[in-house]
Amino acid sequence: MAGVTFSRVRKEFAGFLAVEGLDLTIEEGEFVSLLGPSGCGKTTTLRMLAGLEFPTSGEIRIGDRLVNDVPPGQRDIAMVFQSYALYPHMTVGRNMEYPLKKRGLPKAERKAKVAKAADMLQLTELLDRKPSQLSGGQQQRVALGRALVRDPQVFLLDEPLSNLDAKLRGYMRAELVELHARLGRTMVYVTHDQLEAMTMSNRIAIMLAGDLQQFAPPQEVYRRPANRFVASFIGTPSMNLIDGQLSRSDAGWHFTSPGLTLPVPALRDSAKAGDACLGVRPEHVHLGHGDLQAKVQLVEQTGHENIVVLDVAGGNRLTGRTPSSQVPQMSEAINYRIDSDQVHVFGPGDTGARLNADG
Amino acid sequence: MSRSPQALLERRYARLGLLLIAPTIVVFCAVIVYPLLAAIYLSLFQLYTPTLEGSFVGISNYRDLLARGEFWISLRNTLVWTVGTLSLQIVLGIGMALMLHQAVWFRSLARSLILFPYFVSTVVAVLVWRWLFNDLYGILNHMLIGSGVVDMPVDYLGSMPNAMISMILVGAWKYFPFVVIAVLARLQTIPDALYEAARIDGAGPIARFFDVTLPQLRDVLVVIILLRAIWDFKEFDLIFLLTGGGPVISTQTLPLLVYKEAFALNQMGMAAAYAVVMMAIMLVFMIVYIRQTREKEAS
């Protein structure tokens, strides 16, 4: 078993900076998700770890071994591709056996390993089929099986669930978590789906435009997002972000925006009065009581709760949540209050840092 | 008994369908079925070409032909030529396609240049090659003697096995671009992820060729090999112009034999018999080809 270390890794493609000075240490046996929007560098990072791309500068280590110049086949990694990349002319059994064959394992040992992996993934019945005869979910499991037979130091997964339907995706998420628990191997998982990252990972690395924004456990990322981008990217519905001004008085810090003045929790010493952004999770906007007034713009009933979009003073919009029993009417005037202990304050700009003192 | 409107409509559609395919059927009958039947009919006669007069001889033309050494020599030549030139076309074609598939700066230029031999008229190409091969003024001999590889001019077309080898080489040069184009088109559709998966699975470049590229090319190669086998088997102009079947009949293939019987020896009936036998042999290729395409459609 081994962890993975990226030190000042930089990757440039003909004039385009894909990854910028990445420092990331993944512990042995950890499940880490690389999360971010398209083009954020998460797939490039994974491909550099796989050896399919070479870093322009910096060092990548698997365990203690520097792997910058090691070809993919000798890195002791296995990868599951988004498209599965199963060899179409080989049966399921031969697909799974292939990496073992290339490593010169004797036939009996190969068969035993394939049988074991097939059993673990419920593929035994399908070993003689061709990939084209399988459903998407089955192909996905074969791709996983081909990675599994190798018993590699590190598993790399490149959006493996994105081609599955929602129900199967939920099922496979649980399967992967269980598999990780059983194998205890380091897994690096690339996704643009924050739900996958939140539910499966020990830690999430959130990237934007080649830059690492935050690397922390899911709850930490949710409760204390490092900056405005992370705050907006994590959570559904996403955090309310309101631009305004920060000011300080004897009573403490205050946030002001047209129609809204709110005391905010303690901020860091580095916090300065001036432009800022207030972040409020929808669950901290309480509807039906309080002294603030708004008009209901939209109600989305999801079944177990309602998502309510409010038009508030100053042209801002706020999203709140109500239990399924409390359904506000469209265009209704409603009272609300913001839980000021739970708000986040960010510096100006799209990636303005979080200023709360608890971070 | 009254007909339902649907049945009437279906009948009308069926009639329209027949009408639409009728022109194709008529042309097909005129240019394929009639000549085919006429050739079989002619092969049962002893005929003098200029007058087409003669007498019915039944299957004696076929009996004669099978007893003649010249038929068997020509058949052997045809097979040697077909297998030789086809194998070279395939090997060269795949090799060149793999090279052009790599990202090289001259790729687009090379791709158009590579088609040149296929596009140039056979007559022009063969004349150029005959000049290159010429034992007195040919540039090949000039270069070989100049560089000291040989001290006597090589007779490329007038002796065996040189003539057959030269013919096979020129055939390969002329027709390998067809293989390049077909293989290249297929190569471009193989997903990169397959190669990346193979690299991670520990496959080197050679293993990747045999385990990823070649299986993916299999279908297109079967079609290319069958089509080119049929075309090479009945190749006439290139051989006729390059060696004329010589020296003596050492490079005479079946199409040349048919031509010789029909127009040099004026034996139209015998020529027709040869042609029918050729067709029977090509039918084997045809059946394989049809079965292959049908299987592919079924899957």
Tokens of A180: 């990780």
Residues B31 and B147 in one domain: no
Please state whether the peptide bond connecting residue A237 to the residue before it is cis, i.e. omega within 30 degrees of 0. Answer: yes
Structure tokens at B45: 């006669």
Question: For the sheet containing A186-191, what is the strand order?
Answer: A77-80, A154-158, A186-191, A31-35, A203-208, A211-216
Using 50, 70 and 90 to split pLDDT, how confident is the model at B148? confident
B235 and B174 housed in the same domain: yes
User: Which residue of A lies nearest to B207 if distances are taken between CA atoms?
Assistant: A102
For residue A312, the model assigns a pLDDT of 85
* Residue B254 forms part of a structural domain: yes
| Residue B298: per-residue pLDDT | 67
Statement: residue B51 has pLDDT above 90: no
Say if residue B19 is in the same domain as residue B159.
no
What's the gap between Cα A137 and its chain centre?
21
Residue B149, pLDDT score: 76
Q: What is the pLDDT of residue B76?
A: 92
> How far is Cα A120 from Cα A118, in angstroms, rounded to an integer?
5
Cβ–Cβ contact A72 with B under 8 A: yes
Give the pLDDT confidence of A229-277 residue by residue, as tens digits. 999 999 888 999 988 888 888 888 888 888 788 888 888 888 788 898 9
Say whether pLDDT at B128 is over 80.
yes
CATH of the domain at B265: 1.10.3720.10
Based on the domain organization, do B93 and B191 belong to the same domain? yes
In a domain, B190, yes or no: yes
Of the pLDDT bands very low, low, confident and very high (cuts 50, 70, 90), residue B85 is very high
Residue B70 shares a structural domain with residue B19: no
In this structure, the answer to whether residues B35 and B172 fall within a common structural domain is no
B298 in reach of chain A (CB within 8 A): no
| Min Cα separation B107/chain A (Å) | 19
The 10s digit of each residue's pLDDT in B202-227 is 888 899 999 999 999 988 998 898 88
B208 domain residue, yes or no: yes
Measured from the Cβ of residue A50, the count of other Cβ atoms closer than 10 Å reads 22
Residue A206 pLDDT: 93
Q: Which chain A residues have a beta carbon less than 8 Å from that of B215?
A: 87-89
Task: Tell me the per-residue pLDDT of B232-291, one tens digit each, with 9 for 90 and over.
Answer: 998 999 999 988 887 888 888 989 988 988 888 888 888 999 999 999 888 887 888 788
Does B69 fall in a domain?
A: yes
Contacts of A146 in chain B (CB under 8 A): 197, 201
Across B188-198, average pLDDT: 91
Q: What is the pLDDT of residue B152?
A: 75
The domain segmentation of chain A, as residue ranges, is 4-231, 237-346
Q: Spelled out in words, what is the top-level CATH class assigned to the domain A237-346?
A: mainly beta
Task: Say whether A102 and B201 touch across the interface (CB within 8 A).
Answer: yes
Tell me the mean pLDDT per 10 residues along chain A, length 359. Answer: 87 87 91 91 92 91 90 90 90 91 89 89 88 88 89 91 85 89 92 91 92 92 92 90 87 85 84 87 89 88 90 85 87 88 87 82
pLDDT category at B170 given cuts 50, 70, 90 is very high
Instruction: Tell me whether residue B125 is in a domain.
Output: yes
Residues B144 and B232 in one domain: yes
| Closest approach of B91 to chain A, Cα-based (Å) | 22
Exposed e or buried b for every residue in B59-93, given b needs 16+ CB within 10 A? Answer: eebbeebeeeeebebbbebbebbbebbbebbbebb
Both B208 and B285 in one domain: the answer is yes
ipTM exceeds 0.90, yes or no: no
B48 within domain boundaries = no
Q: How many structural domains comprise chain B? A: 2
Q: Decide yes or no: CATH 3.40.50.300 for domain A4-231.
A: yes
**Domain housing B96:** 60-298
Looking at every residue in chain B, the average pLDDT score rounds to: 86
Domain presence at residue B123: yes
